[in-house]
């Protein structure tokens, strides 16, 4: 696939034609896409992970193709304690290179000064995501300055994600966003997890199919007939925390 890459004479950075990359990667399996990304970008490739329900799927693929790949984990200050314990257990068991970035705000103080009187809910989810997740993500990407990053989104999770390409130019991070799992279904993920004996998040068995922060306005277990992302910001129009939106934190 060298024809879609070229090196800038001055900077040595790899410039890549996203259109050509998507055409060349059509029909490739997620592990093949991850391997291509590792071969193309080497140590300039990182990944993001929420250490959510099925996160070990992409982590396993990425850490197999590029052992020690930096895994950006954004700690908003409002995560489930089970998520933090899950991340620590996986970090040790699989020798993962987790790079944990924290919100620069004290979580309790931020709630107080922003009129959020009940920590079990958020009245202004966009303001909270902007301050405690998106700003942290932007700081992490600025600090690490990757050429490309792997993310675990899937087309069947939302209408917005269904319109995305496997390889996208991400102006926000000045890098390429690569979504190897985009065309996979929950069944495909489950099959990969089963074959490779990978663990699910401990809340998975309690009906949490997509796991973010712990306020009940942000993450709930699924009810009957609900689809995988319906437990996130349930009852609102909000579908994204914002880090997968190229316009940045101004969600
Ligand atoms: S998901 Fe909820 S708690 Fe987490 S940053 Fe967004 S609004 Fe805040």
Q: Residue 59: exposed, middle, or buried by beta-carbon count in 10 A (0-12, 13-18, 19+)?
A: buried
Instruction: Give me the residue label for tokens 């279904």.
Output: 185
pLDDT (tens digit per residue) in 218-250: 998 887 777 777 778 887 878 788 888 876 544
Which of 212, 232, 233, 243 has the most ligand 1 atoms within 8 A of CB, as the residue to mutate? 212
pLDDT for 251: 45
Active site residues: 241
Quote the CA–CA distance of 87 and 101 in Å, as a whole number.
13
Which of 105, 118, 130, 241 has the most ligand 1 atoms within 8 A of CB, as the residue to mutate? 241
Atom 2 (ligand 1): residue with closest C-alpha? 218
Q: Is 215 in the pocket of ligand 1 (CB under 6 A)?
A: yes
> Are 4 and 22 a contacting pair, CB within 8 Å?
no
Q: How far apart are the first and last CA of the chain?
A: 36
pLDDT (tens digit per residue) in 72-91: 999 999 999 999 999 999 99
Which one, of 245, 241, 247, lies nearest residue 103 by Cα? 241
Q: Is 132 in the pocket of ligand 1 (CB under 6 A)?
A: yes
Atom 5 (ligand 1): residue with closest C-alpha? 129
* One-letter-per-residue 3-state SS of 21-85: HHHHHCCCCHHHHHHHHHHHHHHHEEEECCCCCCCHHHHHHHHHHCCCCEEEEEECCCECHHHHH
- Of 5-9, 82-86, 177-181, 209-213, least confident by mean pLDDT is 5-9
Q: Which of ligand 1's atoms lies nearest the C-alpha of 213?
A: 4
Q: Is 76 in the pocket of ligand 1 (CB under 6 A)?
A: yes
Torsion-angle region of 165 (φ positive above 0: left; ψ -120 to 50: alpha; else: beta): beta
pLDDT for 12: 40
Q: Is 72 in the pocket of ligand 1 (CB under 6 A)?
A: no
Contacts of 104 (CB under 8 A, 6+ apart): 135, 136, 139
Long-range contacts formed by 5-8: CB under 8 A, 24+ apart: 5/40
pLDDT (tens digit per residue) in 3-18: 455 444 334 444 578 8
Delineate the domains of the chain, giving CATH numbers in brackets.
2-186+197-206 (3.40.50.620)
- The mean pLDDT of the chain is 90
Is the pLDDT higher at 50 or at 157?
Answer: 50
Is the pLDDT higher at 14 or at 166?
Answer: 166
Q: What is the pTM of this model?
A: 0.91
pLDDT for 248: 53
Q: Is 125 in the pocket of ligand 1 (CB under 6 A)?
A: yes
Is the pLDDT higher at 161 or at 14?
Answer: 161
pLDDT for 175: 93
Give the strand order in the sheet containing 167-170: 97-102, 70-75, 45-48, 148-150, 175-178, 167-170
Instruction: Give the mean pLDDT of 140-151.
Output: 97
Quote the CA–CA distance of 236 and 242 in Å, as a whole number.
15
**Mode of pairing for the β-strands spanning 5-7 and 70-75:** unpaired
């Amino acid at each position: 696939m060298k024809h879609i890459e070229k090196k800038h004479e001055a900077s040595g950075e790899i410039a890549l034609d996203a259109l050509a990359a998507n055409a060349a990667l059509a029909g490739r399996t997620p592990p093949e896409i991850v391997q291509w990304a590792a071969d193309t970008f080497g140590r300039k490739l990182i990944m993001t992970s929420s250490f959510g329900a099925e996160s070990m799927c992409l982590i396993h693929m990425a850490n197999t193709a590029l052992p020690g790949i930096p895994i950006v984990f954004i700690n908003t200050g409002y995560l489930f304690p089970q998520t933090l314990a899950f991340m620590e257990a996986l970090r040790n068991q699989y020798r993962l290179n987790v790079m944990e970035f924290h919100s620069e705000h004290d979580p309790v103080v931020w709630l107080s000064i922003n009129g959020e009187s009940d920590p079990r809910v958020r009245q202004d989810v966009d303001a909270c995501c902007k301050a405690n997740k998106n700003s942290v993500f932007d700081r992490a990407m600025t600090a690490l300055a990757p050429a490309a990053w792997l993310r675990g989104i899937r087309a069947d999770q939302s209408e917005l994600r269904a319109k995305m390409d496997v390889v996208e130019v991400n102006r926000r991070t000045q890098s390429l966003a690569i979504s190897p799992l985009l065309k996979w279904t929950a069944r495909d993920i489950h099959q990969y997890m089963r074959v490779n004996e990978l663990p699910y998040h401990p809340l998975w068995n309690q009906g949490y199919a997509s796991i973010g922060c712990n306020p009940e306005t942000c993450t709930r277990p699924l009810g009957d007939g609900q689809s995988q992302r319906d437990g996130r910001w349930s009852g609102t129009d909000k579908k994204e925390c914002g880090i997968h939106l190229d316009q940045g934190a101004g969600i």
